[in-house]
Structure 1
């Protein structure tokens, strides 16, 4: 038996569709059983427990001597056939087959997916750890409401949670491409149909996707690197960084993001703190678009200069903010969202950052059409903050 491209694609596509580990493993094992005819399958979690985390189909005993072949797989004889043992790190996927040749060829296919499986398992566990850390951090916030630095950290963590979703969205397509190209190449090699020219094209495509993944990580990592000193940045560079973080996510939600103003204008400021303010405002606008079901959502960021100050205007067409909310919008812990979707710290911390860290001002106005946030900072925030302190 040689697995067809359709079987390989179906098995590959089942990997990483959920960030819940049990659900993700169940989908992988269920798909593999359905596509290959295996009688049963299980995922054996980290030793020393060695307890099946997920078991589907027929039950079968765990082999006494599990495979140590980290690059391959092992077949174990069993009372009802053969057990395919594929190590992933120090854990194992086990499948029961009636025939040795079927188990052998399926093992050759399954090991080609090992890296993607390991990454998907790590992603599930990291997401769980992040939720646990986020929950613990929120508890600490409520115990220290008067601690301004702690509230700033929570605000940034909230953005980080949204950014993880953005990273996942931006990575999904290149990871799928890499998986398909590499799997097709492996199958072509197994079938003796691979030529050097096609292999070179496949490798170049994979390399291009890897460069995109690396650049995405750099963009997000740079945002969370604290600014110890102010730096000179142009409006164009600021716009590019905002788009690199939010652009793809907004495009997927059909939100149009416009930038107006002279891109060459430069100013000295704490870049990441300024970015955090814009991300808070833009993400709030995005939530308002969803809540108000706006058919053609659009946000415009405009830069104007006046008397050695940079004036940023953020306009949206999300339907405006009610007057009773407008007067409280910069208060701590005030939010119109439920606790699951909002801490009430985003705009409060934005005001703290602008006024105390950047030496500027932030105001908001609203009409039935939409809202306008006006953010003014000095062309040299370092000098202004020094005077304020």
Structure 2
């Protein structure tokens, strides 16, 4: 009893030792592995892809705002761009967005088919470019009922293991509440609309997201932030599974590509084949690494999240300059390149006021810091 009283007395009488500043969230400071490698004063880069010969291609969509210069270009460092596949082909491209390189080294590009202020119906398409010949070799037009008047085709991945020439999987985020996965058979050019309005491709009811220090709730009737259904889309390294995440959600889903590519699959069987992979965050672009892991642009964490093949998550990078991180590609070494959007600052979300703070940036991420989440 006396020993206990003595210990208590010592604790009460001890003079506080000198201490550092009050503790803060260790994730609040920038991760230190983000470098701005290009700044664009007018045109906002969105899609990014690295060709087999090392060239890096950027897309500059026009659906939200017009801009000078090419809409698809090879980036040569800093702000130097050259039109891709050439200057003449720019007239055949309306609003390039998501991109991917297939197993044959060909570049596939989403063309939204609309420009800012357009009042006529959009004409979305998938554009195939041969980077060796530097020319557009095929354009797959997407029409009703595969796309709707309120469709927003966003990103795509190419599976060469199903179909005689392969299969393209396309995310339709929807401008309203009708998202879906579009499956295109390359040989025939025929496309199908799958999982339309399914929970796995749709916004999560009541979803709340932090944007620029403010909280917004998903509201399809009065959007105050970028929102919608399936956005980021990724293919497993062996092409056996397709992964995707609705933008107004924090969950990742997957399904076997063999089922998705089967033109005779019944809707009920397809829905049954979808697997909930768990929570990952608010995801935009998804990049598949050589080890089978996914690198995902993380909107709320202003960075990149890595999902290992076993499902383990780590935060690769975070930085306040990453305002709406968008698309990811390898930088040719062990790092990553990522485009950065400012989509939530567009006039459409601010009663016509343009809240963007130019220039737009392209960043390089080195993988020296991994934070488990």
> If the length of structure 2 is used for normalisation, what is the TM-score?
0.24
Greater relative contact order (CA < 8 Å, ≥ 6 in sequence): 2
Structure with higher strand content: 2
Structure with greater helix percent: 1
**Bigger Rg, structure 1 or 2:** 1
